[in-house]
Amino acid sequence: MFAAVYIDGVAAPVSDDMPERVGVEYSAESLFRCRACGEDLISTTEGLSTVSGEVDCRDFEPPDGPDSDQLDGPHDPERVPLSWCNSAAVHSDESQDSVTVSISVGDPRGAFTFTIRRVPDDSDGDLAGQLVMHTPYVGEAAPHMPLAALHDGTYLIGSPYATRA
């Protein structure tokens, strides 16, 4: 079997053997940044500030417009895209005739896994030769993170009561 790895549409060099696992790891410096100045923000006892400790935003825009007497103001936080993702990987396993996609959120020691495998042709029953998909589900014995079903095939990840910023 021939396998190729593409990065942004360009074939990447791989070893002579077919790669079994391809992964991407993310390391966001911060979960939030300021919409106005773009600085990464961290939580402090005084609220959100830049890494250097600035609580006031240099690009603050007063709600009353540019003629306002208010010159200083807080940062306007927004979530950094993909800061929730630790890693993502694709693992192919010829011995199991399967492909698994793993996505790690929250605890970096684990991941949600989605596997598609072919039931061996010599298996007894109607599933012989068919493709089967295994997905995370509510009530799983050891989930990567808690799930709450929103509707068939769609889940809320984590606690629905977690504080929102």
Share of the chain above pLDDT 70, in %: 87
pLDDT of residue 17: 66
pLDDT of residue 112: 94
pLDDT of residue 6: 79
pLDDT in tens, 5-29: 778 888 887 766 656 778 888 877 7
pLDDT in tens, 88-143: 999 999 899 999 999 999 788 889 999 999 999 999 999 999 999 999 999 888 88
d(CA 105, CA 113): 11
Taking alpha carbons only, the member of 89, 103, 94 closest to residue 135 is 103
* Residues with Cβ within 8 Å of residue 114, at least 6 apart in sequence: 100, 101, 102, 133, 134, 135, 136
66-84 mean pLDDT: 82
Q: Please give the model's pTM, rounded to 2 decimal places.
A: 0.74
d(CA 88, CA 105): 9
pLDDT of residue 32: 92
- Tokens for 135, please give them: 């997905």
pLDDT higher than threshold 60 for residue 164: no
d(CA 46, CA 43): 8
pLDDT of residue 16: 64
Taking alpha carbons only, the member of 95, 90, 138, 140 closest to residue 114 is 90
β-sheet bridge partners, residue 102: 89, 113
The residue to which tokens 């190729």 are assigned: 4
* Contact between 22 and 14 (Cβ < 8 Å): no
45-70 mean pLDDT: 80
pLDDT of residue 8: 81
> Alpha carbon of 40 to those of 49, 81, 82: distances in Å?
8, 12, 14
